[in-house]
Structure formats: C-alpha cells, structure tokens
Amino acid sequence: MSDLALTAEDVTVRYGKRMAVDGVSLSVPIGSVYALLGRNGAGKSSLIRVLLGLLRPDQGQATLLGEDVWRNRARLMERTGVVAEEADAPPEMRLRDLGWMSSRLYARWQQGAFDERLTRFDIDSAARFGELSKGQKKQVALALALAATPELILLDDPTLGLDVVARKSLFEEVIADMADRGLTVFIATHDLGAIESIADRVGILKNGRLVLDEELETLKNRFRRIRFAGPADTLAEANLTVTWSRPWGSGTEAVATNYDDLALDRLRQRARTAEVVPMSLEEIFMAVVGEERS
C-alpha cells in the first residue's frame, strides 16, 4: 500500500487555448499537511478539481489514496472530505437534512461529531443552508467533511471571507482531527499566516506551473533577506542565488534562496557588514511569485 495520500503526475488542464494547469506533479504523504499557494488565477482551483475527480485533466493523472481519482471518484469520496471554495449544498436544505443525507451515504458517518461541531460553531441544525453566512457555510461544510471520518481532506480556500475568529476555529477543527486520527490535509489557501504553523510542505503555483514544492522547514531555512554594504555582484561571488536584489542605502538588499551558514561566512569575507533576516512564508511567497522586485 502506498504511503502517499495524494499524487499529481504531469497534470495539465486547458480551457480552450488557455493553459490553467501546466504539467504539475506533486505528492502528499499520508498524515501530512500540504499547502498549495498561488495568486488568484494561478490554477489552484483547477488543480483541486482534478484532484477531486471533478475535472478530467487533458494530460496526466491524479490519485487519491493510491487510486486513480477520475475512475474511482465515488469510492474515494467515501474516504475523502471536501470543503469547496464556494460552499455548494442545496440552499433549501436544512442542516439536519444534510446530516441525514450524509448519514445514508457514508459508512463511517458520525452523527454525534457533526452535531457537536454545529454546536461548537453555534449553528442551529434546523437552519437552511442558504440562510447561513459565508463563514457559517464554510463551517458546516467542514463539519460535514470531518463527520464522514475521512482519511484525507481537501480544502479549497476554506478561510476566504472568514473573520479572524471563524478562521481560527476552522483551523482548530482540522488540527484536532489531524492530531486524533492522522488526517492528511491538502489545502489551497491565501491565509499564509495560519497555514505556516501547520503545513509540512508547501507548493506554489504560478501561471499554472508548480514553481516550488518543498518541505516548509527546508524552505524557511534556505530563504533569507540579506542586507549588506557592497554591490550586488558580491552575492554571486559568495555563491548565493537570489530571487531579486535592489540598492539599500549605499549597500544592497536581496532575497537569497540557498542560504546556509557557509554562504554567510563567504559573504562576510567580502562585505563589511551583512544583516541576515529570516523570512515568513508570506515573504517567501511574495518573493517567489515575483511581487517583491528589484
């Protein structure tokens, strides 16, 4: 049995002449949290639609829990929870009816867990789905997904439009399940601050291409913001690769992508002073997608 919960192999999606996803390959080990980042229109939702078996890729293949998701979608959904970008349950359905329906469809459905989460979220089970706020819809979607006791959960921008409290409670639910059952999480999000604390691995999509796919810890270790007195050429002499560099007073400011202690030593041999600052995931993302330029 594979120890990968999710894989994409050379997945390509085109809408007419437009390339939405361009040869993306990635894999997510069981029990890990994978954060898929990217600007709007980068191809995250298309990739997730492929991973959920909603969209057949023009090229490549996606698997969930070791099985081809396009062919075995119905069976795989028994073991996979989904929180879509737009919560999509029928608006006229009452939440208890949603629970009833799910209880008939999922063999491992836990009605108690569903009811408890609704209570925690302070949502009345007699309410109709269409009457809920955007945040409540996301919470209900998460409650439905988790009550089915999935082995894997895919969340497409689950915190979009949520306030801080709702965001926090949503992540807490996911984290609790991860801790309790070893749930694998694949999340596409713009909420870099929140995900930074739970993601094991990060992928960044840019114009449909996966430009970065790495352990978060490794990523954060190798990305540094460096400021030093000297010309930008000094960085190359110190064997440092940069995403960008720009003048900083009489010196240079740059983001290095292959930082380590040896590189710092090499730099300090050439520059009188060198300030090295660790970067947050958000800063790394900005640097990678090219929003922070020289």
Partner 1 sequence: MNGTLVIAARELRANTRIFIISAVLAVWPFLASLLPTARGHRAEVIVVLGGFLSVAVGLGLAVALGISTIGRELSERRLSFYFSKPVSPAAIWFGKAGAAIVTSVLSFALIALPTYFTSPQTWRLHWLGDAQPVVVAALVIAALFFLSHFLSSILRSRSAYLAFDVIALLLLLAGLYAVVRPLALGGAGDTAKIILVSMGAIVAGALVVGPVWQLANGRTDAKRGHAALSRAVWSILGGALLLAGGYVAWLISGYASDLKDVHFVEQPGHGTAFLVSGTGAGRGEYVSTFLIDQRKGDSRRLSVPKWWGGNFSEDGTVYWWLQPLGLFNFTGLELYTIPVAGGSSVASGITMTPNGSATLSSDGSRVVVVDGALASVFDLATGKLLASGGGLDFRANHVVIFLGPDLVRIVEAPRDARDITVVRVYELDVRRRTMSKTGEGQYPGSRGTSLSLSGDGSRILVRGISTIADGRTAGLVARLNGEVPASSAVLYDGTVATITPNRPRLQLYSRDGLPLHDIPLPDAERAFLSGEIEEGKLIVAGSRGLPGKGGMHWSLLIIDVRRGVVERVVPDVLAPLPRWQYGRLAHYTADQKLVVVDLHETLYTLDPRTGALQKVKLTG
Report the interface residues with partner 1, using CB under 8 A: 49, 52-56, 73-78, 82, 84, 86, 88-90, 92-93, 97, 101-102, 104-106
Please say which residue, 107 or 179, places its beta carbon nearer to partner 1.
107
Residue 179, class by beta-carbon neighbours within 10 Å (0-12 exposed, 13-18 middle, 19+ buried)? exposed
Distance between CA atoms of residues 200 and 62, nearest Å: 20
Contact predicate 143/177, CB 8 Å: no
Q: In angstroms, what is the minimal distance from the CB of 60 to partner 1?
A: 17
Which tokens is 5 given?
Answer: 């919960």
Q: Residue 116 Cβ, how far from partner 1 at the closest point, in Å?
A: 21
For partner 1, the closer of residues 56 and 168 by Cβ is 56
Which one, 84 or 192, has the nearer CB to partner 1?
Answer: 84
For the bound state, the minimum distance from the C-beta of residue 111 to partner 1, rounded and expressed in Å, comes to: 15
Q: How far is the CB of 88 from partner 1 (least distance, A)?
A: 4
**Least distance from partner 1 to the Cβ atom of residue 92, Å:** 6
Rg from Cα positions in the chain: 22
DSSP states along 159-222: TTT--HHHHHHHHHHHHHHHHHH--EEEEE-S-HHHHHTT-SEEEEEETTEEEEEEEHHHHHHH
Nearer to partner 1, 80 or 252 (CB): 80
Cβ 55 to partner 1, closest distance in Å? 6
**How far apart, in Å, are the Cα atoms of 157 and each of 37, 40, 50, 83, 273?**
10, 11, 16, 8, 42
Alpha-carbon dihedral 131, 132, 133, 137, rounded to 10 degrees: -140
Cβ proximity to partner 1: between 125 and 257 the closer is 125
Closer Cβ to partner 1, 92 or 275, answer by number: 92
